[in-house]
Structure 1
Amino acid sequence: MLTPTDDYTSLYASFEWRVPDLYNIGIDTCDKWADGSARLALIHETENGDVQRFSFDDLKVLSAKLGNAWRAQGVEPGERVAIFLAQSPETALAHLAAYKLGAVAVPLFALFGEEALAYRLGDSAASVLVTDSEGYAKIQPILDKLPALKHIYCTDHPALAAGLDVHSFWDVLNSQSDAFVPVETRADDPAVIIYTSGTTGKPKGAVLPHRVLLGHLPCVEMSHDFFPQPGDLMWTPADWAWIGGLLDVLLPSWHHGIAVLARRFAKFDSVSAFELIARHRVRNTFLPPTALKMMRAADPTSTWASHLDLRSVASGGEALGDELVAWGLRTLGVVINEFYGQTECNLVLSSCSKMFDRRTGFVGKVVPGHKLAIVDEEGKPVPSNTQGQIAVRRPDPVMFLGYWNNPVATEAKFIGDYLLTGDLGMMDEDGHVRFLGRDDDVITSAGYRIGPGPIEDCLLSHPAVRVAAVIGVPDRERTEVVKAFVILNEGHSPSDELVAELKQHVRVRLAAHEYPRLIEFIDALPMTPTGKIIRRQLRGRE
């Protein structure tokens, strides 16, 4: 655990990994805390407002019973267990049981449709699926495409499927003994397959070993201002099917014995989110930039505002920008710490308000334990303040094992000893790293290479703008010109005058060559389920 300090240089220099040969996420995040003390692990608020509380002792007993049920069904170590549920106790139990059984969890986002499900379930060859009746309704039409699927566990009521064993999750679990001996897994054994969002092509299954949780811990601790502290309670709206919900929030919190709040929102609503944070006295939260932008529009004079008790707010997944940071300090009472990573190698950069001041336009510094460089096309580190690709040096505990059934894509992810993120950035002489955008999102205009992030942040600082996305569109003279898609705040309407005003806003505040020559007002942006803008779909509109 990182020792609280304001000396980043010494902390980074003195850090050493301690990764044991034998390590199991399920034991580490549950069983080690199940000592009969009834230590709180999970608070679950249902959609109708009911609240359930589970201790680590409860979770150990229940996950042991589930593990016994799967073992009796013949589930072997290494088999894939798909979990198609939103935030819930059943989701957590399925993960714990899978890890302790030596199986490989395959989390699936609750809003996935048939095509996305068929691809991921088929590619992973999952033999077990845990879902609810809503999820089963999506699965039933594609069952003939899933020959490897043998058992389905339904958490609310059992469904019927010809040729498949469909079980009532709780009936089966409650029929089992709680005497369970976990499989002895190695730190490098596969624990989970998380499929990438598919923003740059077909989704790929990133295979993450048990050690990956240990690799996440320094950044979680750093981005939450030396987490944990007494009284901490963690929540995120990010689904636990994504690495941001599972390995940035749920499992790191449980590693430290800190309780997590679970609450499913059928559709994210900023006021409901604020009321939830206030009602449960949430102290720590991971809020993706998209959620922050929505919450920014909420009325800060509402009753919830006086009941916030936040200690830390972390964000990542898209560039944050000064406007959101300033709003966070003003409304949330804390400096939002930004972090950076991706499914294949997550949480390697972070800011930390307790250790160093945030630098405008920069994500933060390299997290202790990780080695990061900005490299050129040949994989060689470039000088300070030079644009290149963000790369992470292997070996690294947080790094994936490879892509499931895709050795070609795995090999292409590396150049020498560096994992290539596909993101452009630069590092200054003090070690602060700037994220410039995906390599394929960079705009080439009149010889300039322009990242969309600073322009989007600048547009967001205008009172009329709620959300903005920037792309490059072909231009005969300049190769590309900057185009902005803008969602307006309430009370503002599209007009030629507003277009001119927004162009001048960027020209004056950012740079004359970076202002959007084209602006289109829209009602919604194409987003991945994790809240990232799908710019290729915007480019496809042109």
Structure 2
Amino acid sequence: MRDYFTAAREFDYASAASSTLAGDLDALNACVECCDRHAQPGRVALLWEGRNGERAEWTFAALKDAASRFANLLQARGVGPGDCVSGMLPRTPELLITILGTWRAGAVYQPLFTAFGPKAIEHRVRSAGSKLVVTDLANRAKFDEVADAPPVLTVGDDFQTELERQPEHFEAVMRKASDPFLLMFTSGTTGLAKPLAVPLKAIVAFVSYMREAVDLRAEDRFWNLADPGWAYGLYYAVTGPLAMGHATLFYEGGFSVESTCRIIRDYGISNLAGSPTAYRLLLAGKGEVEAAIKGQLRAVSSAGEPLTPEVIRWFAEGLGCVIHDHYGQTELGMVLCNHHALQHPVRLGAAGFAMPGHRVVVLDEQQRELAVGQPGILALDMPRSPLFWFPGYQGLETRAFVGDYYLSGDTVELNADGSISFVGRADDVITTSGYRVGPFDVESALIEHPAVIEAAVVGKPDPERTELVKAFVVLHAGHAADAELAEGLQQYVRQRLSAHAYPREIEFVAELPKTPSGKIQRFLLRNQEIAKTQEAAAH
């Protein structure tokens, strides 16, 4: 195992790029990097299991053929290089064909999580300027409620037939390293989700994470539990492993302790990635889990929020494997990790050390770098971080860029050994079951209900989900603040926005706390919920 400090000190971008990419920085195509270059006979790219137990294996060669046909289909529909294609599909082979085919055509893939409702969809496809949406029969009706929706291609029983009608060859369109291949949206506190384009050069950073932090080896069977509708799944269940020529696994069914254990056992999973929420649920069923998979996992990676010491200890003692914390953002990918493949001290509760190729620092409010033990804002020193790829929010001012630094908005603390510990979020974004939820999105959906005047949404501490989405609602006169209306508001938001973002608790109030300028002071409501939780725990 290599020494972390040596790897960080000796990192060379040119060497990293040449060892990662088949193309060069002036001529890249993500489908070539993630598919064509690995299309040797019999080399498996995807292991898939459907909701009803159906199974299939797709080779890189088969995906290359399907992606070529899909690229021809896109071209026939007027989609060209730089255009955006939105995909709203479950974890199926058709999802991977859509992604790879979009890339092959030189176009940009924009993910839509399948739980999104029409409001969340409309904002994203409008902001992206999507030329086409690809979805399935289960989600097709949502687009009937999207104003000025782009053309929709529905994956049904004849999807494969339609692909087979297309020519079997499509020459991959080469793009520059600075050109986008993904368009992501990240939740914020003061507005709707913000678009950010991910350039092709980010593939180098994604593979670096897979190698150094995840320690993905040729002999591993790898499974990332994250949905490709989100950054961690799209970056590290699709792009990263496939760019390495490694098979990934898609399980279309929902999460359960039983199904997770069965898949780990049946597919011989040795390297696992996911969120702390999933790992806490496994811990809750530890007797069943230990009996099913103890000794099978070699390396487990966690992202989304900090792991609790109890989970870390149980993985080591109950399952006989190491689980490590990793930290990142949609804007950054993973940049702070306890690395499985690099030797360094591991401090319980610390997010870890900067990924080689990044310089992570702790700043005060005047952007001065802080010493050990002083909490401040986690920041990236951009000129000294050759793997930093974030170009800023598309069409919007990026206030996170201050001088040479990108400010993450998260509060951290530098430890004496050089590792960094996560303290908390400086913003109001809610982390619930591994998902990041912007309160503004939920508030906007609530305010559209005819009974609601105002709403404020915060995260309430919760031992299973990290936080629950809680809404404080001010009603118009004539509406009863009762359980029936609360349930109606929950369902309204769930249908309009998404299944993970609706408020699980609603409290009706006469007014909301505000600043003199009229801004809602969410932190007062959040602190109130923290105090209530602590008081309840004390009793």
TM-score norm. by structure 2 comes to: 0.77
User: Within the alignment, does 1:50 sit opposite 2:43 as a pair?
Assistant: no
Alignment match, 1:434? 421
Retained in 1: the 8 A contact 2:324–2:340?
Answer: yes
Aligned-pair CA distance for 1:255: 1.3
Output the CA distance in 1 between the equivalents of 2:211 and 2:126: 36
| Separation in structure 2 between the aligned mates of residue 486 and residue 254 of structure 1, nearest angstrom | 36
Select 1:34's aligned residue among 39, 45, 48.
Answer: 39
**Contact 2:281–2:464 (CA<8 Å) still a contact in 1?**
no
Q: Structure 1 residues 528 and 9, CA, compared in 2 at 3 Å: closer, same or farther? A: farther
What displacement does 1:189 show? 0.3
Partner of 1:263: 251
- Cα separation, 1, equivalents of 2:159 and 2:388: 32
Residue type at the aligned position of 1:421: S
Find out whether 1:187 has 2:177 as its counterpart. Answer: yes
Counterpart pick for 2:130 among 126, 133, 138: 126
1:227 aligns with 2:216: yes
What is the identity, as a one-letter code, of the residue corresponding to 1:33? H
Question: What is the aligned length?
Answer: 444
CA drift of 1:109 comes to: 0.4
Distance 2:294 2:526 in 1: 43
1:215 to 187, 205, 212: 205
1:265 Cα deviation (Å)? 2.4
* CA-CA distance at 1:427 after TM superposition: 1.2
Confirm whether residue 156 of structure 1 aligns to residue 156 of structure 2. Answer: yes
Structure 1 gap segments, 5+ residues each = 158-167, 443-451, 457-482, 490-525
Q: CA deviation at 1:72?
A: 1.9
Q: Counterpart amino acid of 2:358?
A: H
Q: Which residue in 2 is equivalent to 1:171?
A: 161
For 2:248 and 2:502, how far apart are their aligned partners in 1?
24
Tell me if structure 1 keeps the 8 A contact 2:117–2:498.
no
Question: Is 2:342 aligned against 1:375?
Answer: no
Aligned to 2:394: 404
CA contact (8 A) 1:99 1:191 kept: yes
2:4 to 5, 8, 11: 8
Task: Report how far residue 328 of structure 1 moved.
Answer: 1.5
Deviates more, 1:290-299 or 1:419-428: 290-299
- Aligned equivalents of 1:528 and 1:153: distance in 2? 21
Q: Which residue of 2 aligns with 1:108?
A: 112
Q: For each residue in 1:101-147, what CA deviation from the matched residue of structure 2 results, as whole angstroms up to 9, or x when unmatched?
A: 111110010111111111111111101111001111111222x333x
| Partner Cα distance (2:331, 2:32) in 1 | 23
8 Å contact kept, 1:289–1:315? yes
Contact 1:378 1:415 in 2 (8 A): no
Q: d(CA) in 2 for partners of 1:401 and 1:123?
A: 17
- In the aligned structure 1, how far is the partner of 2:159 from the partner of 2:251? 20
- Look up the match of 1:327: 314
Identity, % of aligned positions: 30
For 1:360 and 1:532, the matched residues in 2 are separated by: 33
Asked whether 1:68 is paired with 2:54, we answer: no
Aligned match of 1:277: 264
1:357, CA displacement in angstroms? 3.6
Letter of the aligned partner of 1:206 in structure 2?
Answer: L
Q: Report if aligned partners of 1:366, 1:431 keep a CA contact under 8 Å in 2.
A: no
Q: Distance in 2 between matches of 1:215 and 1:488?
A: 31
Give the counterpart of 2:240 among 229, 252, 271: 252
Alignment check: 8 A CA contact 2:362 2:376 kept: yes
TM-score normalised over the length of structure 1: 0.76
Counterpart position of 1:99: 103
CA contact (8 A) 2:48 2:92 kept: yes
Whether the 8 Å contact between 2:295 and 2:321 is mirrored in structure 1 is no
1:25 has 2:30 as partner = yes
Distance 1:26 1:534 in 2: 40
Other structure's SS at 1:111 match: coil
- Secondary structure of 1:386's aligned partner: coil
- The equivalent of 1:161 in structure 2 is none
Shift of 1:353: 4.6
Within the candidate set 406, 419, 438, 1:419 is matched to 406
* Residues 300/197 of structure 1: CA separation in 2 closer, same or farther (3 Å cut): farther
Tell me how far apart the structure 1 counterparts of residues 80 and 178 of structure 2 sit (CA, whole Å): 17
